[in-house]
Amino acid sequence: MQNFIFHNPVKVVFGKGEISKIAELIPEQANILLTFGGSSIKKNGVYDQVKAALKNRKVTDFGGIEPNPDYATCMKAVKIIREEKIDFILAAGGGSVIDGSKFIAAAACFEGADPWDILSKGAAIKKAVPIGAILTLSGTGSEMNSFAVISKRETGEKLAFGSPEVFPKFSILDPETTFSLPANQTSNGVVDAFVHVLEQYMTYDVNAPLQDRQAEAILLTLMEEGKKVLETPNDYNVRANIMWCATQALNGNISAGVPQDWASHSIGHELTARFGLAHGESLAVIAPAVMRNQKENKKDKLLKYASRIWGITEGSQDSIIEQAIYLTEKFFREMGLKSKLSEYGIEIEKALVIADDFEARGWKLGERGKIGKNEVIEILKSAL
């Protein structure tokens, strides 16, 4: 096992009816900015629940944070925070709203000239406006971590940052808020969480059997419950299990002491930024292609995955691994996602620019930093 630090101070309040607790979780004198996306929190009742819980507290609304939150949108909120002397952000939505709010929180306190430096240059974050979250879509895990991904429509960039300063102080996870989601958003969330686990599990072995089994616990449960949710979207327990799986998939627990990959996410972010694929859609295409391309480097873990997740133990090592990857793709398809770039009408020549871009940035991806330009080209071609 590798040395590690685990520190996750987020207070998770989980279960139906818990949104009513926000009044006691937010400091009484706080000047609150309520951030959200489109109209969904008005349709699913979350907006009304928030307003009822906060009664006469001072709340300014900031709606319109889009999927893959845009830098320009976030900067509008930053302006309001500075002008209105906001000192608490309540983010109600999915990963995009929470991610956007994390960036808003950090940018509002940023002392440098250009807050984009936080994303493009890893500029240090010394302080952030405190955040609380009400999760309405399971998938990204943003509700219980200190990371966020922000897009810049203007330049077609999509970049990540992280800081302990942007851990939510609390996150309310009420599975009922996800009943009314469109099926494709639910599916994207399940696949996103599944691939989050793969990024932390499908690497080389460092003798960390507990972390391996904890990762497998999430994968197996996501598969079981993911299939159920498409049949019975209003089943509370199914929604609750998916919600807790997605949170546990990226709260630092399964990555403690083990190497991590994140190549699928890096490539997937580019597909989103350039071709508009939803985050989960991009991962469903790329993650199997990365596994296939990195078959040798990930051999031991792929065999463990084949055996423990898919029950495949018979045949040559190569055929076992191929079957496991095939079944992974099959699961994603059963969740309603496509498997190939061509199904999205993406031409390979246009996709290959991603490889050039990574080279220009000097990026080497994967748990061993061995996925360079040539490997990205191979991965994209095999995902065609």
Helix (H, G, I), strand (E, B) or coil at 131: strand
How far is C-alpha 131 from the chain's CA centre?
Answer: 18
Segment contacting its own copies by CB under 8 A, of 126-134, 188-196, 242-250, 355-363: 242-250
Q: Quick check: 176 binds its own copies (CB under 8 A)?
A: no
Q: Quick check: 234 binds its own copies (CB under 8 A)?
A: no
CA 127/CA 106 separation, integer angstroms? 7
Handedness of CA 246, 34, 123, 127 (dihedral sign): negative
Q: Quick check: 4 binds its own copies (CB under 8 A)?
A: yes
Q: Quick check: 216 binds its own copies (CB under 8 A)?
A: yes
**Based on CB atoms, which residue is closest to its own copies, 8 or 155?**
8
Type of residue numbered 292: R
Smallest distance, Å, CB 258 to its own copies? 11
Smallest distance, Å, CB 31 to its own copies? 25
Q: Which residue has the tokens 């302080």?
A: 127
Segment contacting its own copies by CB under 8 A, of 179-187, 245-253, 282-290, 371-379: 245-253
Pick the binder of its own copies from 182, 209, 315, 369 (CB under 8 A): 209
Q: How far apart are the first and last CA of the chain?
A: 37
Q: Quick check: 248 binds its own copies (CB under 8 A)?
A: yes
CA 258/CA 350 separation, integer angstroms? 35
* 287 close to 325: Cβ distance less than 8 angstroms: no
Segment contacting its own copies by CB under 8 A, of 92-100, 183-191, 202-210, 319-327: 202-210
**Based on CB atoms, which residue is closest to its own copies, 209 or 311?**
209
Q: Quick check: 117 binds its own copies (CB under 8 A)?
A: no
Segment contacting its own copies by CB under 8 A, of 3-11, 30-38, 49-57, 320-328: 3-11
Pick the binder of its own copies from 1, 124, 348, 353 (CB under 8 A): 1
**Based on CB atoms, which residue is closest to its own copies, 4 or 370?**
4
Smallest distance, Å, CB 248 to its own copies? 7
Window 252 to 311, contacts with its own copies (CB under 8 A)? 253, 256-257
Q: Which two tokens stand for residue 29?
A: 């004198």
Which residues lie closer than 8 Å to 41 by C-beta, 6 or more apart? 47, 50, 92, 93, 136
* Eight-class DSSP state of 38: S
Residues that bind its own copies (rule: CB under 8 A) add up to a total of 41
Segment contacting its own copies by CB under 8 A, of 110-118, 244-252, 329-337, 356-364: 244-252
Segment contacting its own copies by CB under 8 A, of 1-9, 64-72, 286-294, 345-353: 1-9
Q: Quick check: 224 binds its own copies (CB under 8 A)?
A: yes
Q: Quick check: 179 binds its own copies (CB under 8 A)?
A: no
Type of residue numbered 182: P
Pick the binder of its own copies from 60, 214, 260, 323 (CB under 8 A): 214
Which H/E stretch holds residue 81?
helix 71-84
* Eight-class DSSP state of 66: P
Angle of helix 279-293 relative to helix 373-382, nearest 10 degrees? Answer: 110
Instruction: Name the residue among 283, 285, 288 with its Cα closest to residue 266.
Output: 283
CA 298/CA 204 separation, integer angstroms? 6
Q: How many residues does the chain have?
A: 384
Segment contacting its own copies by CB under 8 A, of 6-14, 119-127, 280-288, 370-378: 6-14
Q: Quick check: 16 binds its own copies (CB under 8 A)?
A: yes
* 100 close to 73: Cβ distance less than 8 angstroms: yes
* Eight-class DSSP state of 339: -
Binding stretches for its own copies (CB under 8 A) = 1-18, 207-211, 213-214, 216-218, 220-221, 224-225, 237, 240-241, 244-245, 248, 253, 256-257
